[in-house]
Each structure stands twice: as C-alpha cells, then as structure tokens.
Structure 1
C-alpha cells in the first residue's frame, strides 16, 4: 500500500511519516513537498495525506488527486478546523479531516476508515455531499398536500420509510455509495432523499442531519431493525484494526483457548471444526467466548483457504458493545441464532 504524504520538509513531516508507516506491515510512505509534482513517480497512491495549512497548494493537490483517481481517499491535517476551510476541501473531493492536536491513534483510526470507504469524522460537515441546486421539488418526501399551505414546513419530520432508512444509514457514517448499494438504489436517488431530509429537518448538512436524527425515535428504530436483520457496518470495526492475512490450514484459535478477540472475515473461508460449519465473507467469529463465564473458545477455527480477517481485541469489542446499541443488538441477535442452531444440531 502506497501512502503519499504532501507537506513541507521538517520535523512535522518526519513525525507524521513515522506514524503513517504504522498503518500496516506493507505500508510504504512517500513524502513530497508542495513545490514538486506529487504524482510524477508513476505509481498511483492508495491514500493521500495533506498538510492542509498550506491551503491553496493543498486544494490543488486534492483536486488533482480526484482527476487522477476518482474516489481516491484523501485526509487533510489542519491546525484550525473551521467550517469554511472544511467546505473548500469537500469541494475538492477530500474524504476526511483531522486536527493536528489529535493523537497518533486518532490519525490511524481516521485513515483506516477512509481506506474502508467511509468518511472521517462521520458526523462532521466534511461528509456533506454536493447536491444539485435544481433538485426538483416533486421529490420531497414531506406530505406537502396535507399541510394547510402546501409547504413542507408544516410537518418537518414526516419522512417516508425509505428516507428514514437513508437517514439512519447516513447517521451511521455510511457514504452515499454504500447507502445506494445496501438499499439497491442509485447514488442519485440517495442524494434526492438526503436533499428532502435536509429540507424536512431544516438542516444544511449531513452532520446536522445526523444530530437531528439522534433525536428521532424513527431513526433509532430503523438502526435497531438494521441490526436485527443481521446487517452490520464494518466501518466501526475497521476503526480498531487492519486486515490480517492467514494461510490455508492455519488455526485462528482452538477450543478452550482464552477468548481474547473476535474476528470478521473479509475474504476466504473458515471451518469451525467441532460443529463442522464453514463460514465466509461478512461473518463474525469468536463472539460467544467473549460472553461465556470462563471466557474460553467453544470450538476450533481453521482457515480452509487463504483468508483476510479483521481482529478486534476483546477490550475493544466490549467497549463497542457497551457504547453502541446497534452493535450490541447485532451481537446479541447473532449469539442467539448460533445457540439455537447448536441446540438444533444436538437434537438431530
């Protein structure tokens, strides 16, 4: 993975470059200053980090990066995070920003989310998507006909079921592309729904909509239903870890081992030996041991093929469980289904 860090030479660039190298075992960090051509070496970077205090130069590089590769993850580092500056970087295609007073851990967490296709921070104005100013008023989800004057303001929180779904996903930090994929609609339709939601909630950005969503019972219900349906945003797991590769026949853990982590399968197939079950992409493993009385593994997990997995420590998993109701609901539902499956196998 090639990381391009664009910043003037000096202690700041050297220090951040060292942190960037910790992003993964195969992370290569290339440092250039604004006086040179950032993309002259031929190989396209997988991730770009900019010193945003040099505003005109940083905006120029950000714009050029999106012409080079549309959707290329770009993180900008700022001494002062103000809305006006952030909006300029939004327009240039930047997916995330971070204050220079934040910790090294915060930097790595932000980069991992960007690499996963999310934005950082999820609730900040930076995630505002540009919407066409000529968006037709007929797309409004507010029941305008029921209002005495035909205006949307008469019922500001009356949203359709689909718009509630879109807003719930946006409040979780999902990108328009991710929302479109999950709901099987186009990105343009997502933008139409968000435009209508902004109008209904009387807000001007995705961040403000997320704050307003937290106060809506409908959104909380939608997120819980999302968890009960077995759908989990991997972005919140990616904040804690990077994918680790395992070879075929490699054992992830053995029965009765201490349960010190849970796993998410990004790629490959894993067999749970004692119950003869195979699991693949999008599956969480090792969650039961976290809640068992002795915190021990209940079976052995072996890779049937080369695998790529996210490993989330038990401490981080439990912190997420207590802090995030949606994740907790998902995990409880998952454990219940697996225990029911075990009971059914025992009867047979």
Structure 2
C-alpha cells in the first residue's frame, strides 16, 4: 500500500491517480496533515509526502521513523533547494522528487523504493543530486565533468561554484564575496557553460568531483570562514532575552550555537562575542562532554541551535565543517594560553 499525505485538493487527487497506475493491485490511501496519519498505516509499503508543507511533512517523517522505522519515504517538492533537501534527508527521507518531473519519474522512484533500495548515507551531503530525477542525460552530464573542465573557470568563478555547492543563495554569495547578485548570476552562467550542465543542482554534483573546488572550500574553512548552507539545514532558530544563560559551566554539552544577532558573554574568561560566532564547540569534544564555560546573553540574541548529535554527524560527514571546527578550537585554545601567560 502507498500512503499519500498531502492537503486535500487537485494535487493530491492527481498524484493518487498516478500512483494507482503503479500496478494493478497497489492500494493508495490518502491523508492530510490534520488527521492522525498513521492510523492503520502499519501495512504501508511507501510513504509519499507533499514536502511544500515543510514543518508538517518533517514531523510526519520523524513520526514514521518512530512508529515504522523501515518505511521508505518519498517527498515531493516544488523547489529542490539544498537546505530544504538536507532537512528532509536528515529527518530520514529516502528520496525526493521535484514536482515538475514527469509521472514516469514518480513511478520509477516508487518502484525503486518498493523494491527495497534505500538512500545511501555515503552521499547524504550531495545536495544537488535529485534522487527522483530519471533523466539519463542530466546524470551523464554531471558524471562527465572532470578537473580538466575547471581550467576553463576563473578563480572568482571557482569561489562562486564552491559556495553554491555548499547551499549558499545568490544573495549570500554576493554578500560574502562583496559583489552584486547580478554578477553572481553571470558567474554561475559561465560555470554552467564550462561544466556543460544546465542547472545549479547539476553544477553542485559536478563540484563534488572537482579537486580545485574542494580545495577552495577547505581553504575558506582554514581561514575561519564557514558556509552556512549546511549548518542551516540542521539548525533551529532560537531567541533569547538579555540576561538569559545559554548554558552553565559543567552542563552536559547537548548543542552547538551560531550567533546571528546580539552579544554573548563567556563569563569565566571575561570576553564578549558577536554575530557570526559559533559557541559550545569545545564541550562537544571534551572527554566528559561537559561545558567548559558559562555563556550568558548580554543583549537580546537570535541564534541557530544545532543538536550535539547533528553537529557530530555533520563533523564526520563534511570535511569543510570539520576543518573549520578544528581551526576554531585551536585558535580558542591558543587564546586561552595567551590569557593565562598574561595573568
């Protein structure tokens, strides 16, 4: 049985009709996000979700992991944006498919899931790859790219590609490289032509195979620069008022924090940090996984919170993030040593 969860209406009815064509004896059950989705769903073979209802869909995926751990999940998306895809993959989605794909693509993706194939964790961070797409031409293009093609790109175009492959938006790339969004688009067009691809997604897949792009990403991490695309996919926004304590010294280290707005004081060492700072990284790697200092908001603060489990998962899966953390921890330990020598 296929369980389709989507708001009632033409889209759900149309998809249900297509799903019914998968095979003569396949049953399709429909539900929306306002019902108890998993009532009687223990016999479902595949769960199909309308991913545009993002928060509801993510909650449903997580519920399916608890109630039916082996149930494969396919999510349908209007826009296959890297940070959105990563959220679904992290929650446990097996495959995703853009709504602009054909009915044949949908049926092929479902046949693969029903046959038992699952999403491969070894490529879990390959944002651009559309697991639902069945275009052999698109796949051939991304597979055909080699380091020879990268010589056709300027250093600036390689920088733009490296950031785009990390999930950064055109606006974010423009801000980071101090250029206009129009210039970013021009560079991306040049990248597509040089790599013989047609989209940002295919360019991201190609970038994962190009050593110069990986070197650029690692170089940025060694310079203390972090591409936020990956971190955003794992994070939850959080607001704290002035005077609130984020964590006390010796508390369990259960999360990593990225400060978006405001000022946070690190009480034991008497320093204040501002926007763009990561907090709580040392406790993740301490032997007893305890906080080494107390962090208190000196003003109203907006933060992104990443659970310790997700932060460690990202550390092991993403060399750029791991390099950034190692660089950050080393700098902070050296600063601590300098303060001790001066005191």
TM-score category of the 2 structures, normalised to the smaller one: 0.5 to 0.7
Alpha-carbon offset, residue 20 of structure 1: 3.4
Alpha-carbon offset, residue 74 of structure 1: 11
Specify which of 318, 327, 332 is matched with residue 326 of structure 2: 332
Specify which of 211, 223, 226 is matched with residue 229 of structure 1: 223
Q: Secondary structure at the match of 1:263?
A: strand
Contact 1:122–1:207 (Cα < 8 Å) also in 2: yes
Specify which of 40, 55, 58 is matched with residue 20 of structure 1: 55
Q: Secondary structure at the match of 1:333?
A: helix
Residues 68-127 of structure 1, C-alpha deviations (whole Å, 9 max, x = no match):
xxxxx999x9996466569xxxxxxxxxxxx999xxxxxxxxxxxxxxxxxx994157xx
TM-score, structure 2 normalization? 0.61
Alpha-carbon offset, residue 190 of structure 1: 1.4
**Unaligned stretches of 5+ residues in structure 2:** 1-5, 13-30, 36-49, 60-74, 89-94, 104-108, 112-124, 131-147
Specify which of 210, 213, 237 is matched with residue 204 of structure 2: 210
Q: Secondary structure at the match of 2:296?
A: strand
Which residue is equivalent to 1:141? none
Which residue is equivalent to 1:253? 247
Which residue is equivalent to 2:149? 156
Residues 12-71 of structure 1, C-alpha deviations (whole Å, 9 max, x = no match):
2535799736989xxxxxxxxxxxxxxxxxxxxxxxxxx989xxxx99xxxxxxxxxxxx
Q: How many residues align?
A: 242
Matched, 1:177 2:171: yes
**Unaligned stretches of 5+ residues in structure 1:** 25-50, 60-72, 87-98, 102-119, 126-154
Which residue is equivalent to 2:260? 266
Inter-partner Cα distance in structure 2 for 1:52 and 1:321:
28
TM-score, structure 1 normalization? 0.60
Alpha-carbon offset, residue 251 of structure 1: 1.1
Q: Secondary structure at the match of 1:262?
A: strand
Which residue is equivalent to 1:320? 314
Alpha-carbon offset, residue 188 of structure 1: 1.7
Matched, 1:344 2:314: no
Distance 1:281 1:179, change over 3 A: same
Contact 2:257–2:279 (Cα < 8 Å) also in 1: yes
Contact 2:7–2:32 (Cα < 8 Å) also in 1: no
Please list, as runs of the form range in 1=range in 2, the aligned pairs for 1:1-348 lying within 5 A after superposition. Answer: 8=9, 11-15=31-35, 20=55, 81=98, 84=101, 122-124=127-129, 156-158=149-151, 159-348=153-342
Inter-partner Cα distance in structure 2 for 1:201 and 1:182:
23
Residues 322-343 of structure 1, C-alpha deviations (whole Å, 9 max, x = no match):
0010100010000000001000
Inter-partner Cα distance in structure 1 for 2:208 and 2:309:
26
Alpha-carbon offset, residue 268 of structure 1: 1.4
Contact 1:252–1:303 (Cα < 8 Å) also in 2: yes
Inter-partner Cα distance in structure 2 for 1:264 and 1:247:
16
Residues 137-193 of structure 1, C-alpha deviations (whole Å, 9 max, x = no match):
xxxxxxxxxxxxxxxxxx633121111101111111112221111111112211221
Distance 1:257 1:228, change over 3 A: same
Inter-partner Cα distance in structure 2 for 1:250 and 1:165:
39
Which residue is equivalent to 2:143? none
Distance 1:198 1:213, change over 3 A: same
